[in-house]
Structure 1
């Protein structure tokens, strides 16, 4: 197809993204300038300009997630807006991927420097090749573990991770200038959110966070899984610091389901309720992620969760409660009522706690917590603290 057609498709995609969110003028210009198709050789032009992720390398162990992919363009745009890069910034990107995001960063920091690293040799070579083809030879691409020190161009004004991160490594503190900005898909209690943080001495303080999903970074294996069925059709995912007894949970579904509970909160079709999960993590260390396969739902092994692949759940010994919903036509604008399904001896109590989290979210559905991250050896600020290996996350509303 002609270059004119590519330009038309690119501009149409950006126009569509602009209907979803406001973008800084510099980010909009970068998205309209960088040819995404160049970074996705072999992909149909129309597919290069749809708002979806594109896998460029499958995971070698055959896992469900790819090793590397081109992120959803609207998510890319959102994270670039969070980064707030300046023309003369020195930027580090962790997770080179296709090279597309590095090209966008080069447009934003056109008077500065951009370094992109990737642990996989094939991915790093792909990024280097496509960046050269698109005319971004000045972007430095290194085959490097992004969790380690990238000393060649350090220190950096901005660090941006385009892979899911469970913990802030100590090396990033030594590379980010005081007053510098870090944007990353941060994972805690089973959810992933793109968090924008500014460094103030020994603290990183958030001013934005949005739900997202990313391939996890290689080298941080601090999430665990407990099976509630022998086949793994129902499972919970939890963090290493959480007191979850996987053997006890194996018998949870053997108990008859509890009555559960229903909240006063209702939602309309397409209305997001992920804030319930976020709100719960700011005060409750029992929050995990429940995953239920479609087969388990069809076989009626459990009451259907609000989101079968990823619903917040509270775990206590051999009991759990998780987010569910039912249709109540009394309010045609918001016909779906949020509630808690529960199993196990302490299920009813857990359901009531989950309802309290739902109601707290419902009182201010757009509220976001203030996240403060400190190195593990320093004292955390006031608030609910989540322990990682190298850092502490403190959340406070």
Structure 2
């Protein structure tokens, strides 16, 4: 007797795994149980196609990040739940990928709805077109073009979803979204990324929720910079409006760190990304620090996560999040604090640990986020912390 699970079994097992972690609208769950992801990933073993992981479909010869990939299925499901598309709606997707997400959207909006997906890479667009034809979703419109420009000829859209990372929200996409329509996309600010659900109210986009995520960045937006320190063993990833002084910071890192600890503790698998998110709603100094093994060997204090930790950087000083396991609490064996360098490092560490403490008191709180045109005057903006992008001004506030 052959006990090998069928394609349907594998698909349903994956969806069962996803729904056990997060509730999904019925329409999204039905689409996930209907569309065959394996047909969008030809040549891949079915067990791998129905694992909860990303799959690269086109490598990037110029960098470590793929040019295109099939996203983690649980992230796909989460973003479709955020989008909450309805039958009969007109949908635009930025980033065609394998065509799998467009197929899911097509199932959700049904025969009276329309789905347009666009990708800047001709090979990726062709892959999506062929896969959609193969799975019976040949009515989905696939466009080879610049996703930042959208597809105004087929708008306005009831919903727009981005399946690539955005540093800014271009006015072109805002203008193609119908009044009251919803935009869901991975939005990056101050070194971290959230899948943000936004509703259009005139010239303003208002958030209705956000979730942690990670995506390949969209081609054509270059608002983030990388500055190397300590002979290239430490890197700061920061936004274009944040001045970084490498020579001064190198001098600071040449001296031992000073630690400042809090009473906030975390479990072995507990996420503390909310600290980073909270800091972005109050500080213009927040960026991401990345340390190599060589940096740690050279005596640089280990960040909480060496490749992905928040830092506050100002002039000749910096402070970043650190964690230390002391097992004084079995459920939360590690305590959180800040390591600082430079003459103003202790003051930056004090500010960072204040955010840690505030997060510790309410670990699930998220800020209210609104997106406004770049030309909006200060008097037009709500109260909160303003981050200026190229096309927009983002306002963050905790109620």
Band the TM-score falls in, shorter-chain normalisation: over 0.9
Q: Which residue of 1 aligns with 2:92?
A: 92
After superposition, the C-alpha distances for 1:171-210 in whole angstroms (9 at most, x for unaligned) are 0121000100000000000000100010111111111101
Q: Which residue of 2 aligns with 1:245?
A: 245
Q: Which residue of 1 aligns with 2:392?
A: 391
Residues 262 and 353, structure 2, Cα contact 8 Å, conserved in 1: yes
Relative to the length of structure 2, the TM-score reads 0.96
Q: Which residue of 2 aligns with 1:341?
A: 339
1:364, 1:331 → 2: CA distance?
19
Which of 321, 344, 369 does residue 323 from structure 1 map onto? 321
1:250 match: secondary structure: helix
Aligned residues: 393
Q: Does 1:266 align with 2:265?
A: yes
Q: Which residue of 2 aligns with 1:210?
A: 211
Q: Which runs of 4+ in 1 moved over 3 A?
A: 1-4
Residues 94 and 150, structure 2, Cα contact 8 Å, conserved in 1: no
Residues 95 and 162, structure 2, Cα contact 8 Å, conserved in 1: yes
Q: How does 1:110-129 map to 2 (within 5 A)?
A: 110=110, 111-129=112-130
The CA deviation at 1:57 is 0.3
* Worse-matched range after superposition: 90-99 or 18-27: 18-27
Residues 190 and 288, structure 2, Cα contact 8 Å, conserved in 1: yes
Q: Taking structure 1 as reference, are residues 247 and 221 closer, same or farther at Cα in structure 2, changes over 3 Å only?
A: farther
After superposition, the C-alpha distances for 1:299-330 in whole angstroms (9 at most, x for unaligned) are 14311111111000000112111101111222
Relative to the length of structure 1, the TM-score reads 0.96
Q: How does 1:9-158 map to 2 (within 5 A)?
A: 9-61=10-62, 63-110=63-110, 111-158=112-159
Q: Which residue of 2 aligns with 1:226?
A: 227
Q: Which residue of 1 aligns with 2:169?
A: 168
* Worse-matched range after superposition: 344-353 or 305-314: 344-353
Residues 227 and 249, structure 1, Cα contact 8 Å, conserved in 2: no
1:161, 1:371 → 2: CA distance?
18
Q: Which runs of 5+ in 1 are unaligned?
A: none
* Worse-matched range after superposition: 273-282 or 2-11: 2-11
Q: Taking structure 1 as reference, are residues 27 and 2 closer, same or farther at Cα in structure 2, changes over 3 Å only?
A: farther
2:207, 2:119 → 1: CA distance?
26
2:329, 2:53 → 1: CA distance?
33
Q: Which residue of 2 aligns with 1:186?
A: 187
